[in-house]
Amino acid sequence: MTEMTGIINGKKKDNPIWKTEIQAAADSIRLRVFGHVMKNNGGYLSQACSSAELFAALYMRIMHLGPSSTPLIPHPFMGVPGPANPNFFNGGDYNGPKAPGLDRFIFSPAHYALVLYAALIEVGRLAPEGLEMFNKDGTTLEMIGAEHSPGVATTTGSLAQALSQAGGIALGRRLKGESGRVFVLMSDGEFQEGQTWEAVQALSYYKLDNVIVYADVNQQQCDGPMTDVMNIEPLTSRLESFGARVFAVDGHDIDALVEPAELAPDGRPTFVLAYTDPTRGIPLMNDRRPVLHYLRFKDGAERTRYDEAYTAMLKQDIKKRQHLRQMRLHLEAFEKLTSNGSETHG
Amino acid sequence: MVEIVKRPHVENFIRWAADKPRVVVLSADLTNSCEVAKWRDTYPDRFFSLGMAEQNLMGFAAGLAREGFEPYIHTFAVFIYRRPYDQLAMSIAYPNLPVRFMGFLPGITTPGGVTHQAIEDVSIMRATPNMTVLETGDATEVESVLDVAHSIDGPVYVRFLRGEIPRLFPKDEPMRLNHARVLRRGTELAVLSAGICTEETMRATDVLSSQGLSISHLHISTHKPFNDPQVLEAISNARYGVITMENHTIIGGLGSATAELMAEEGVGKRLIRIGLQDTYAHGASQHYLMKEYGLDAISLVRAAEKLTAQPFNITEEDLAGVRLQATHSDAKAEAL
């Protein structure tokens, strides 16, 4: 458990290279999703570009989750939930047990599923081979995840339903006197839905400060740039006027992502608006603007350009991994030295 | 004359919930209208006002249910199955969560008009996988439906009655899941009725039997599941055919369920579905609307005449004993 989440007795282990580790995981998430999109000849790529740091920071630093007891290679699909199906299995179990002191993760934009699966691989909750099942008939690794998919606790493919459910979970946990928090990952398009504002209104009214929302504000949606579809800005002041505590941060800055979650609760639900670049790490995607929602190659020439970009990224990744391995070795050696000395200090 | 019970849910629900700490109530600004104001004051820590925001209400109910609570949503039926249907289906029904939907103002029981009249709720809830669909027909059922709903591991939709309600069934004969009440046994005609239509039906079957027609009359309080063998038996034995009577559109409710059952079991008999004939209604008193839309005792008599091809010399006067209900009653929170 401590190895997987970096938590010791509920406190973060003071690992001097934690940020490097998170950045490396974020890079790998992006690369893995890119690889899958190439293999499948298209897919949700901009979402990985924008939210890779967000997922890595949530799983590796922000959320306090217990170990997963679920299989690293997921079960096949075991049927939908219902009274006639005792075998139903909830994908939220990949985020660890539901213990009073542990956090919960509610994943809202279900079309980010591939990014979530890639993140689970980075934190050892899913085997890399497990991803071979992605979007294959009869598996749980669906393209738009549902609550049987790894890491997915609620069914939220119909967007903007997760926040209300998280509110109910947070209220229930408060009634039971649990200290664990409820983290929600949202996409910015969901702030167009009326239900989101009904939910913020209720979270605020019931002072559910155990809810912390991270929104990937990549300013993109299916039809194109959000400002061309339906404007949601100014999001910070809108949320604040609803009674939320809001932090607008650079969604690729790991420190900035982590800090708001470390503050003491103050009676308000917290919203971290992570402003992100939907082409981050793959600048080639800028050629596709204004519409970035789903990558479908226009022709063979475009595919070749992406193939080249992927190969270059892969080479870079090998170098980065070598560097990270060296850093880890140095750190280990350093820790051995200091742990000998620290014993005398008690 | 039947006993009229005033607001039975008010005290009964408070008593019933006393030893069930996981039972919580969620309300959408219709607390007193749904007879849970005193419940709120009795159990303030278990009552949550979510305001006029039903989509979010569904999500909160789902989240509470996932944490081991048993939410009883109290609001008008139309605001449960029409406005937030996607939330009801995806946040609650799909994961099979034990949320209880107490839907008030079923069918034409309200002068609130088309916006307040739940006329296709049974149809939509029946079509929703994992959902159990119940309907109360008298004070005894309003009291005992709580135990039925509580016993089900999954979402339950209840057509709920409020205000002044007749007690048609003995207090010690509670509602049972998927178990019709056999009110009369006969061999010529099978009549299936639900909700407020049962009282009306009883009036007609009384007079029809006195004229020699042998009728089976079953009161249906479970719309889904719908496979009680008593129903099939009554239908199979009915020489002339079957009449259903429901406070609902004839598409997708009791009439449709009966037709499905008859077709699947190969019961080659005629069926007349009394109910709203694929139409919306409007704002007027229940009595007026039942007459206007043919949901009254005389409509049943006419249907019986059609199936048996014999005239019964029955007039509206013969069906007297009709209990007129004042639209403005002090047993209701408002005039709706």
We find that the CATH architecture of domain A2-7+19-296 is: 3-Layer(aba) Sandwich (3.40)
Domain positions in chain A: 2-7+19-296
- Domains along chain B? 3-167 (3.40.50.970), 181-319 (3.40.50.920)
Of the candidate ranges A130-139, B33-42, B83-92, B174-183, the one whose mean pLDDT is the lowest: A130-139
| Cβ-contact B297, B203 below 8 angstroms | yes
- Compare A162 and A337 and report the one with higher pLDDT: A162
Question: Does A83 sit within 8 Å of B154, measured CB to CB?
Answer: yes
Residue B63 has pLDDT above 60, yes or no: yes
Residue of B nearest to A193 (CA): B55
Q: What are phi and psi of A99, to 5 degrees?
A: -105, 150
Q: Which residue in A269, A226, A227 sits closest to A247, CA to CA?
A: A269
pLDDT value at A124 more than 50: yes
Nearest to B16, CA basis, from B48, B42, B49, B44: B42
Q: CA dihedral in degrees (A151, A157, A162, A163; nearest 10)? A: 130
Residue-wise pLDDT for A277-331, tens only, equals 999 999 999 999 998 888 899 999 999 999 999 999 999 999 998 999 999 999 8
With contacts defined as CB-CB under 8 Å, which chain B residues touch A176?
A: 67-68
The predicted model gives A254-277 an average pLDDT of 98
DSSP string, B272-285: EEEEE-S----SS-
Residues of chain A with Cβ-Cβ distance to B50 below 8 Å are 202
Q: What local confidence, expressed as pLDDT, does residue A4 receive?
A: 40
Q: What is the mean pLDDT of residues B169-183?
A: 97
CA–CA distances in Å: residue A282 to residues A60, A222, A250, A278: 23, 19, 18, 9
What pLDDT sits at residue A184? 98
**A206 — contact with chain B (CB < 8 Å)?**
yes
pTM greater than 0.90:
yes
Establish if A135 touches chain B: CB-CB under 8 angstroms. Answer: no
ipTM value of the model? 0.93
Residue with tokens 């992605």: A134
Nearest chain B Cα to A106, which residue? B63
Specify the 3-state DSSP secondary structure of B104: strand
Q: What is the mean pLDDT of chain B?
A: 95
Q: What is the DSSP string of A69-82?
A: -S-SSPPBP---SS
Taking residues A252-271, what's their average pLDDT?
A: 98
Give one DSSP letter per residue of B8-76, joined into a string.
HHHHHHHHHHTT-TTEEEEESS-TTTTT-HHHHHH-GGGEEE--S-HHHHHHHHHHHHHTT-EEEEEEE
B225 CB near a chain A CB, below 8 Å? no
The secondary structure of chain B in percent helix, strand, coil, rounded to multiples of 5, reads 35, 20, 45
* pLDDT of the residue at A344: 46
Q: Which of A258, A6, A8, A259 is nearest to A124 (CA)?
A: A6
- The backbone torsions φ and ψ at residue B194, rounded to the nearest 5 degrees and listed phi first, read -140, 155
Chain B contact set for A79 (CB, 8 A): none
Give chain A positions within 8 Å (CB) of B57: 164
DSSP class of A95: G
Interface with chain A: mutation pick from B67, B73, B128, highest number of A CBs within 10 Å: B67
Name the residue with tokens 């009966």: B258
Band of residue A12 on the pLDDT scale cut at 50, 70, 90: low
* A64 pLDDT above the threshold of 60: yes
| Interface membership of A345 toward B (CB under 8 Å) | no
Among the partner residues A168, A195, A198, nearest to B64 by beta-carbon distance: A168
pLDDT digits (tens, 9 = 90+) for B142-157: 999 999 999 999 999 9
pLDDT classification of A150: cutoffs 50, 70, 90: very high
As given in the structure block, the two tokens for residue A85 are 């199906």
| Joined tokens for residue A111 | 């079309």
pLDDT tens digits, one per residue of B198-208: 999 999 999 99
